[in-house]
Structure 1
């Protein structure tokens, strides 16, 4: 039976922690897109109707569910750079897990439910983004796209959370 504390923990996790973990993941993709000369970059948090934008970040109605990073083209566009971009979100999630664990271990952060949930959701996102599979819409996971890119079998650069923007 769920206690009131567990229900509150669940709500905080899904409406605050998961969007932060998603933002970190998408920031990893955008970081590497930027390094490799990406143009017209945008980070989209959530799905549904557009709520507001600031800088190059768009927030949508269901901010707690999914997200995407968009860009138009890359200056350095080859199998290796594409693979790194696909893995960028996972690299950032893994790095955030290591940093939070180190801060807790070193006593700079107090071990708490908040940080445990952050680590849990970071592992969740990390695992499912790296698991080499196709989603129900036919788009590959980041891990699958990285493998396809390395094999030179992935041309469109679209995954569940990475999209090439077309001319409007």
Structure 2
């Protein structure tokens, strides 16, 4: 049961762990865009910009949302676009595998942070791969993958 003693854990998870999982996710998309010769950037949050470092923008409401944009791939085909869209969920899965292997090799001790990070990462993967269209030019990763593989349509903004 959720009680008063759980409030600090909730704030820790909501305001630190969840945004870190979003950053890992968007880094996956951005890295794949860069690997294929393009330019990528991502934004974490909504509202006014608090911080801009390279290709990363952190917004005032940093815990609310995240999205990636890319352009100018040098290797342009359905599969390179699909891999850019798949990069986010792939990075989330790889981060969980890394955490689990570090814990099972006794390099890291299990703790609430790793549990929450892994939990939110799996959550991100599941919902990112659902083929959902949020708005005209804003799709989930799964929908973006579907659209590019089936119809050859790329998505301007995706999660």
- TM-score of the alignment, normalized to the shorter chain, above 0.5: yes
Q: Please, which runs of 5 or more residues in structure 1 have no aligned partner? A: 162-168
Runs (4 or more) in structure 1 with deviation over 6 Å come to none
Determine which structure has the larger strand proportion and give its number: 2
1:102-130 deviations in whole A, cap 9, x for unaligned?
11111111111111111110011010001
Count, aligned residues? 158
Q: So what's the TM-score if we normalise by structure 1?
A: 0.87
Q: So what's the TM-score if we normalise by structure 2?
A: 0.91
Structure-to-structure mapping, 1:18-37, within 5 angstroms: 18-37=18-37
1:12-55 deviations in whole A, cap 9, x for unaligned?
0010001100000000000100011113x322121111122122
For 2:46 and 2:100, locate their aligned partners in 1 and report how far apart those are by CA, in whole Å: 30
Q: Aligned Cα RMSD in Å?
A: 1.5
| Paired residue secondary structure (2:133) | coil
Shift of residue 77, structure 1, vs aligned partner: 1.3
Q: Please, which runs of 5 or more residues in structure 2 have no aligned partner? A: none
For 1:154 and 1:64, locate their aligned partners in 2 and report how far apart those are by CA, in whole Å: 32
